[in-house]
Each structure stands twice: as C-alpha cells, then as structure tokens.
Amino acid sequence: MSLSAKFLLVIASLTAGLLIVTISAFLMIRDVQQDTEAMSNHVLPAVETFDALEVNLHKNRSIVLELLHSHSADEVTGLLEEYKEATNSTSRLLDEVRLRFTRTESDRALYQDIIQARSKVVRERTAIIALVQAGRAANGLEKWQALDADIDVVEGLYREGRRRTQNTAHEVLLASRETLASSKNRAIALTLIAISVGLVLAVTVYRKIAKPIQDLSQELQVFQQSPDLNMRFEVRSMSELEVISRSLNMLMDWVRDNARQQEMQRDMISRMANHDNLTGLPLWRLGKDRLLMAMAQADRARQNFALMFLDLDGFKAVNDTHGHAAGDAVLKEVAQRLSQQLRHVDTVARIGGDEFVVILGPVADEAVARHIGGRIIAALTHPIHFQDQPLLVGVSIGMAIYPQHGKDADTLLKAADQAMYAVKRAGKNNFAFAMDPSDA
C-alpha cells in the first residue's frame, strides 16, 4: 500500500473514531436533556398546580367561614369577589391537571374523583353562600361541618395527586440517573475502544510509515559519513520509499559507472599520450621515465643494465616501393617481434620513424645484451608479409651499458646512438657496443 494511502487510512480511522465518540456523547446529552425537559415542562409544574389547588381550597374554606361570621354587606361583597377569583383560579388549575397529570388509567380515575369531590364541595359552599346572602347565616353554620369534612376529602385527593406527581418526578430522576449511568458506561467503552484503536494505529504508523523513513534516513546518514558508491539502499515495499530507494540505487550505479568510465577515459588519454598509436609501444616520453627508474634501481642495487638504440635498415625502400601502408605494417610487425624477444622487465619504446630504444632490465651486462641483440637481428631476418608481398628489413643496434657508458640518460642514449651509427657505417644489420668514455 502506498504511503499516502496509509496516511489517508490512518486519518480516516481517527476521524471515524472521533465521530463515533462525539455522536455517542451527543446522544447521551440528548437523552438526559429530554428527561430534564420532561421534568421541567410537566412534572414540576404539576406539583406546583396541586400546591396551588390546595392553597385555593384553604382560601375558599376561610372565605366561607368569614362569610358565616360577617357583619356588613360590604364585607360580604368583598369576600364574594375573592371567592369568585379563587374559584376561577381553581377551575384553570384543574384544567392544567387534566392536561398534565392524566397519563395513566389510575391518574384519570383520581382526576375524576377530584372533579366529583370538588363539585360536591362547590355545591355545598354555594348553598351556604346563598344562606348567608339570604341573611340566614345561622342555617349556613349548620351545614359547615359537612362542608369541612368534604373539603378534607378534596384536600386528601389533591395530596394524593401531588404524591403521585412527586413519585413520577422520582421515577424520571431515576430514569435519568440510569440513562446517565448507561451513557457513561457506553462513553467509557467507546473511549477505551478509541484509545485501543488509536494505539494500534500509532504502532502501525510507526512500523509501517515512520520506521521505514527513519531507517532510510539512517542509511543516508551512514552514506554521508562514509560515501561508498557500492552501498545499497534497502528497497522497502512502500511505493514512495521504494521509488526513492530504487532511484538512489540507480543514482549510485550511474555515478559509479560514470566514475569508472571517466577513469577508463583518463587511462585511455594517458595511454594515448604515452604510447605510439601505430605500434602500441611506449613513446620516448614514457621510455625515458623507465630509463630513469632503471638507473635509480641499478644505483640502489649496484647493478648494470643495457640500453639499445635500434634503427631499421632498408625501411625507406619499403615505403618507397610498396607504399606507406606497407611501411606501417612493417613497423607494427617489428614492434611485435621486438616485444617477443624481451622479458616483461624489459622495455621497448618507439622514439620516432624507424628508431626504437630497448632497456634491458637489471643484471644485463654485455653478455646478456649481446645475446638479446643477436636474437633481435635473427627475429627480423624473416620476411614480413604485406598483401602477399614478402618485405625485408634489417636492424642496426648500438648498445650502451649503465653506468659504464654514461651516468645520465642523455649521455647513455647518445652513446648507444653513436654505436648504432658505427654499425650503419660498418655495413648495417649488426650490433656494436659504445666506446668507453675514456676511449672517445
């Protein structure tokens, strides 16, 4: 799975977890809110209604009692006003009770009992008031006992209604408490699930996302500290990191191949600068280095070595008769035959045209030089074939022994060159040693 897809999955899971916890908390709050609303809208007002009914009942009871003992018409009128008000208020309150209270069958039965008992009280009060208004308060007083007892009945019924309402309030409270408790448990369970999912996600994010990035960064740090183009970055199975690691490895390969190519090109340039294009032999620039090295080595080991100066005989005629290409073929073949006659510690260099220099390695005294000179001459006596034409060249060789014939490179080379010219003058295709400096 790709890195971005994993990120997306983690964020989506966290969002979903948060959403679940939020919705659950919201539902819990809504349940409690509904219970609270039911409490404040219905139950508590119903309790107040029963309280108010009881107050009105006692008020009317007092008014009737005062009417029975009233002395003036004004007093009667005032009391009747109050009575009317309280009675109207009671009717309104009973309507409220009908709306709020009559939820169950037994509540409705209680309500009917209240209405009947209250109607009886109203009738009795009305009868007493009529007697008072007729100036027969004494007769009214006789009916007071019965009214008082019926008022007690109504009062009892109001109290029962109030008690039931309070019970309902209690039930609502208990239900709210239960709702809260179960919501709390649900919230705790959801929170625990969310924490567990969060932990699993955190570990997954660390193992699948953070750790591979951290490891790759450590590999890069190691590379920074000791750059090694052969180092490989682990290819991780996560598309983005896989692309990065593969690209880094490709980059390393490319840089390494490029460096190798440059090195090869440098080698080639250096080889071209120090070697002859035609024969592949070292040029005199390199030959002279080898000569200086041979001199230093001979000085250290107190040994001799021999230097030969070679010039082909009859080479110009090959060029003139068979063409330049034939001359080139001869030079190449001569270079090969010379190399074949020498050991790997020896050096043969082309110093120009048909001239070559041979440096024989250590412990090459006159006898060794004589032997190798003879072999070289013999090797060139065989014809060289070019386009089915047998071509013949010879070689004149001047030899100088270090340090006997020269203690520096130029003197030694000059001594060998002069010996070679002596051979040419003497009839060519032979070798000769340089003269000792004392004889020159």
Ligand X SMILES: Nc1nc2c(ncn2[C@@H]2O[C@H](COP(=O)(O)OP(=O)(O)OP(=O)(O)O)[C@@H](O)[C@H]2O)c(=O)[nH]1
Compose the 242-281 pattern: x for residues touching ligand X by CB under 6 A, - for all others. Answer: ------------------------------------x---
Restricted to residues 415-434, the positions that interact with ligand X (CB under 6 A) are 424
> What is the C-alpha separation between 193 and 216, in angstroms, rounded?
33
State which residue, 145 or 277, has the beta carbon closest to ligand X: 277
What is the nearest approach in angstroms of ligand X to the Cβ of residue 309? 12
Q: How would DSSP label each residue in 214-238? A: HHHHHHHHHHHHS--TT------SS
What is the nearest approach in angstroms of ligand X to the Cβ of residue 334? 11
State which residue, 314 or 403, has the beta carbon closest to ligand X: 314
State which residue, 17 or 327, has the beta carbon closest to ligand X: 327
Does the bond joining 403 to the residue before it have cis omega, within 30 degrees of 0?
yes
State which residue, 46 or 318, has the beta carbon closest to ligand X: 318
Compose the 200-219 pattern: x for residues touching ligand X by CB under 6 A, - for all others. Answer: --------------------
Restricted to residues 352-391, the positions that interact with ligand X (CB under 6 A) are 353-354
> What is the C-alpha separation between 270 and 121, in angstroms, rounded?
134
Nearest-CB residue to ligand X?
327
Torsion angle, CA of 59/65/71/72, rounded to 10 degrees? 40
What residues act catalytically?
354
Restricted to residues 305-334, the positions that interact with ligand X (CB under 6 A) are 311-317, 319, 324, 327-328, 331
Torsion angle, CA of 423/425/428/432, rounded to 10 degrees? -10
Restricted to residues 339-358, the positions that interact with ligand X (CB under 6 A) are 353-354
State which residue, 124 or 313, has the beta carbon closest to ligand X: 313
**Residue type (1 letter), 359:** I
Task: Report which of 243, 173, 212 is spatially closest to residue 32, judged by C-alpha positions.
Answer: 173
> What is the C-alpha separation between 54 and 89, in angstroms, rounded?
11
Backbone angles phi, psi at 278, to 5 degrees: -75, -50
- Binding residues for ligand X, rule CB under 6 A, total 16
Token pair recorded at residue 166: 């309070």
**Residue type (1 letter), 88:** N
How far is the CA of 171 from the CAs of 17, 117, 164, 301, in angstroms?
34, 28, 10, 120
What is the nearest approach in angstroms of ligand X to the Cβ of residue 281? 12
What is the nearest approach in angstroms of ligand X to the Cβ of residue 279? 9
State which residue, 114 or 393, has the beta carbon closest to ligand X: 393
What is the nearest approach in angstroms of ligand X to the Cβ of residue 396? 7
**Contacts with ligand X, residue ranges (CB under 6 A):** 278, 311-317, 319, 324, 327-328, 331, 353-354, 424
